[in-house]
Chains A and B, each alone.
Chain A
């Protein structure tokens, strides 16, 4: 069964940095395009970024160079590095394989709280 686990969230001060992890089981992460989607408390879903099988990456406009995806094939894990965190980055961050323009399945997410 395909399963993803996000981790790395927590409470971080504005201006800080964080690296989120998305670890897969039941499938090979490097054989899939993987997206990050976030959801601020009480708000809707927001697509953040994608890393393709070939390593190509794309980001939502609001990222403005602060977010970077990477992948460690040996750990079957995709990462999202977030720098210069702002209060409006507070959200649950989900990762999901992306194929046929479908995000599926979803992990349970990891909560990032940016606050002083």
Chain B
């Protein structure tokens, strides 16, 4: 069974830089998985940040960036702000018309 892995929680200081990762329980993540990233605050619908590995969605500040780091997809937030405190989810395309979300990372800015 495919499991997409994310850090359960992470913290960053205001103004700091943090990299969240998205991996697979078996194998490496590549651009062929078309990783995308979503931000969700409690009680709200998710918001798209990054798709196709590193394309920012419309209106997303350029302090959010996506990449492949080693064998994982990565979301980097540069110059973290208080309102970046959210849950972050990645999703990977596994082929055969199937997508799998990671369990999400709760980011705290303090």
Contact = CB atoms under 8 A, between A and B. Distances in A.
Residue among B34, B45, B52, B102 facing the most chain A CB atoms (10 A cut-off): B45
A57 B46 CA distance: 23
Contact of A47 (B40, B51, B99): B99
A24 interface: no
B104 interface: yes
A35 B97 CA distance: 11
Contacts, number: 60
B109 to A, nearest CB: 20
B97 A44 contact: no
A94 interface: yes
Nearest to B87: A44
Interface in B57-105: 57, 87, 89, 91, 93, 96-104
A105 B48 contact: yes
Interface residues of B, number: 25
Interface string B13-51: 000000000000000000000101010100001111001
A106 B46 contact: yes
B104 A45 contact: yes
Interface string A87-116: 000000010000011111111110000000
Interface residues of A, number: 21
A44 B89 contact: yes
Contacts of B48: 102-106
Interface of B: 34, 36, 38, 40, 45-48, 51-52, 55, 57, 87, 89, 91, 93, 96-104
Interface of A: 35, 37, 44-47, 50, 58, 60-61, 94, 100-109
